[in-house]
Amino acid sequence: MFPVLLDIGPVHIYAYGVAIMTGTWLAWLYARRAMAPFGADAETVSKMIVWGFIAAFVGGKVFYFLQAPAYFAAHPDEALALSGSGFVFYGSFLFAVPTFYWFVRTHGLPVPAMFDIVTVCTGLIHGCGKIGCLLAGCCYGSPSAPGWWTITFDHPGIPAHPLHEPLYATQVYDAILIFGSLALVLWIKRRGWLTGRLFLVYAMLYSAGRFFTEHYRGDVERGFVLGGLLSHSQAIAIGVILACAAIWWWSTRRAPQPRTRAA
């Protein structure tokens, strides 16, 4: 793997950062075209992406820090590292959603339509981020018997361990899950189905898949709950699915009912 793509003097260009910026650029291109019919210019789109990026960065770091507060308080350089290891997706997700909602409402844009667009942007950045995780060697899997479903890391500068042994390729699993969910969302969107609810679809699909792939993760330092029954990510996945289901039910109840003609 290639955690550092390029060294320019004391500056390191990390593969994870390049992957995230690639996803962000693709998200901007998509949002610029999709938001134009709603009167959003390039500056508005850029501001939305920047605010979302900041919220995702802060949320990912906060949740990472909360995994081991005492340790990271003593090693702040590790908590703030930009090399790829050091982010929790669900933290980014839970911080970015209200930020997007605030931004959309502040700029007078239609919330359901904008969140459909944000869904695609999220998938692009998230999927590219998982490719960055693969290159950085974070979010690695547990040891496995050799097979096509495994990957072996040899670079000494990555967090994956043990080195030189086959591990479940969890980064690849998650990337397939994310891009597969994104493809399904785009297919549904193209047909005009579930308008305003695509973000819920994506969040539930990813959470359900992540609950499964979490069984094969090797970075167990992220912690467990319920006496080791569930990892933190699995517990959050259940919470996200339940919250999305509740929002779906609530939005259905609020939808205007067709009036019946008096006899």
pLDDT, one tens digit per residue, over 139-188 is: 899 999 999 999 999 988 888 889 999 999 999 999 999 999 999 999 99
| pLDDT computed for residue 227 by the predictor | 75
- For 109-123, letters b (16+ CB in 10 Å) and e give beeebbbbbbbbbbb
Q: CA-to-CA distance for 262 and 13, rounded, in angstroms? A: 69
Residues 6+ apart with CB under 8 A from 228: none
3-state secondary structure of 96: helix
**What does the pLDDT look like over 99-139, one tens digit per residue?**
999 999 999 999 999 999 999 999 999 999 999 999 988 88
Annotated domain spans of the chain: 4-254
Bridge partners, residue 26, by sequence: none
- The angle formed by the CA atoms of residues 176, 179 and 154, to the nearest 5 degrees, is 45
| pLDDT computed for residue 225 by the predictor | 77
- For 94-106, letters b (16+ CB in 10 Å) and e give bbbbebbeebbee
Mean pLDDT of 236-250: 94
Q: What proportions of the chain, in percent to the nearest 5, are helix, strand and coil? A: 65, 10, 25
